[in-house]
Structure 1
Amino acid sequence: SITRHKIGYCQDVPDIISYSCGVDPDDRLKMPFIPEDFSGWRKKLQKDILTAVEKAHSKKKIDLCFAYGTIRNFERQTLLKLRQMSIPVALWYLDEKHGFLKNQEPLIGAYDLHLSNSIEPMRWYIAKGQACYYFPQAIDPKIYFPKERTRDIDVSFVGAAYGWRLEFIDKLKKNGIPIECFGPGWDNGPVEDIREIFWRSKINLGIGFTGMSKKLTCIKARDF
């Protein structure tokens, strides 16, 4: 049987950067920092990750450490120390195509396997000698499911306003396509529950292009 240990959880909050780390949800440490203290937050995160993993590993052997993040979250030495405990480490990050050289390449070689949701970047990792496996997202049918709603949005797009998306959306509007956009940078702004937009839309536009590229694509939540 496989025992899953909740080792760490990290998130950005508008006014503070907070993180919690622990084996059990009720045993998590939660330390708020102002954004300017990112280096302090990152340093403490490394220590608490190792402490939590050692604690869990001493109780029952960990078969695999599944980590999500970049060099902003993990130091090379942290991942290497996990491997020194005889724990295989798999690293996953969905936006690697945006900043591979800056965010992901510095960690190559410090973990066992990279998981990518886009086929193109797999070549980048393999060329650097890092084992890589295609690992696209999936959905939980308990969360994403059809629901009866008034279809009052003809065409919707959910995602941040940047790159080639701006030009593409502008062309659609100029050609008479009544599209409503939701997310950072658009007039409607972000939405609390993107499912409501999907349920209300006759057509949900899925733009798979990433960053500034018209060629690199990957799966996004709106595709489901």
Structure 2
Amino acid sequence: MVSARLLLDVSPALYAAYGRLRAMTQERRIHAEQRLYERLAGTGPAARPLVERLRDRLRARNIARSRSGEGEWHVLYATMPSDWELHNIPPELSRVARMSRYYYSERGFDPLGRAWVNRRHRLDKDLLEFVHELNAREPIDVFLGYLSGWHIAPETLRAIGALGIVTCGFHLDDKLSFRGEWAGGRWEGPAALAAAYDLNLTSAPSSIVKYEAEGGLAMFWPEAANPRHFRPLDTPFEYDVSFVGACYGYRPVLIRFLRSRGINVATVGPGWPDGPISEAEMVAVYSRSRINLGFGGIGYSDREYCLKGRDFEVPMCGALYLTSHNPELALVFELDKEICTYTSPEDCLRKIEALLGNPERAAALRLAARKCCIEKHTWANRFRELFDLLDRAASG
């Protein structure tokens, strides 16, 4: 990150060439993996409805129960967790279910530490013991993991499932890192666990085929936001345009272009001169910005896109959001009425100037964005959708 920042300062043209080279490498990897899995999946029979296939899977383990009322599901949430999770998942999950937690960071495990691959079996053992003890006291209905093959083994998930627990895992970066690297006898990405989870939850519709080719089940489950944390603040505007996020890839290239055309863009996050800010400070920046800039690119690419948590958190704040044009955004928003997108630096510049020059339209976009997110894109709604599917599969 630091070396890239220095390269950007010394030679923007060289930095842009370096970024494009890295982007091309990542794009080739994304395309090759997608083609591989589409070929593999294309050799099988036409898929039956997801609820029927999930029902078959649960019946094979004699799982049959009805939990139609809110708060009836007992869910064990297993994760590190990261900062964004703490403001989103636990408070929203607790609104619709009885949540227990397994945070491996609190139990002394560090997957970024030295020789992790040689020690990660201890996490498998600790997690399985925790599940057995909790399940004996208060039977668990659902195990929800934000874990990949880097963290646990598929055998651990199968052992949890053998206790009569439905296992679900969510994965938010699986276009580029579905497989990842081969380490310790398995892929480090979600590919290693795809067949072991009863249901995989992916924010990328195109990735569903990957899970199914690996022998698993998957559903489209985009990110969302907690409306009690990400909320409008009654504060005056301070910035014309802002961006909150790390400085890498295409991001500094576009921001340098906008600044060279007279657009004052405030930037905060790792790699920028002002550095990172807290989650609470992010919400304040969103509300203080006339326009919040977004980047939907994967890794260094400005041609391959995925949905981002920011795509929901900024609009949930009732803030105006202008981000990369990603066709998947049209699955969750009405473009140009709830959020706006750009297709090139020049298009981004034109839209910023137009929005800054039309405060009435900007205000209407902010109101529509918050309304849409409250109605459709809370994490509580995501969990309701999940539990509705599980109830239909387990009680049908």
TM-score (norm 1): 0.82
Residue 182 of structure 1 aligns with an amino acid whose one-letter code is V
Q: Which of structures 1 and 2 has the bigger CA Rg? A: 2
Q: Is residue 87 from structure 1 mapped to residue 175 from structure 2 by the alignment? A: no
The 2-side partners of 1:141 and 1:167 are apart by: 32
2:140 aligned with 1:69: no
- Which structure 2 residue ranges, 5 or more long, are not aligned? 1-70, 84-99, 181-188, 316-396
1:31 corresponding residue in structure 2: 108
Distance 1:217 1:72, change over 3 A: same
Q: Partner amino acid for 1:161? A: C
Is the contact made by 2:241 and 2:264 (CA closer than 8 Å) also made in structure 1? Answer: yes
1:208 matched residue in structure 2: 296
Q: Distance in 2 between matches of 1:76 and 1:139?
A: 29
Amino acid at match of 1:55: E
The alignment partner of 2:307 has SS state of: coil
Q: Considering fraction of residues, name the structure with more strand.
A: 1
Q: Which moved more, 1:39-48 or 1:153-162?
A: 39-48
Task: Report which structure shows greater RCO (CA 8 Å, sep ≥6).
Answer: 2
| Identity score, percent | 27
Paired amino acid for 2:244: V
Q: Write out per-residue CA displacement over residues 111-160 of structure 1, whole angstroms, 9 at most, x where no aligned residue.
A: 11110112222233234332111111222221111112231111111122
Question: 2:209 maps to which residue?
Answer: 123
**Residue from 74, 83, 108 that aligns with 2:194:** 108
Q: Deviations over 1:29-76 (max 9, x none)?
A: 633669225347633321221111112222333222111021122212
After TM superposition, the structure 1 stretch with the greater mean CA deviation from structure 2, 213-222 or 149-158, is 213-222
1:218 is aligned with what amino acid? L
Number of aligned residue pairs: 213
- Paired letter, 1:116: T
As a proportion of its length, which structure holds more helix? 2
Structure 2 residue aligned with 1:2, among 72, 77, 84? 72
d(CA) in 1 for partners of 2:298, 2:202: 14
2:79/2:145 contact within 8 Å kept: no
1:16 — aligned with what? none
- Amino acid in the other structure paired with 1:95: D
Distance 1:165 1:126, change over 3 A: farther
Contact 1:118 1:219 in 2 (8 A): no
Any conservation in 1 of the 2:245–2:270 contact (CA below 8 Å)? yes
- 1:177 deviation in Å? 1.8
Could you tell me how far 1:216 is from its partner in structure 2? 2.1
CA RMSD of aligned residues (A): 2.7
2:249 match: 163
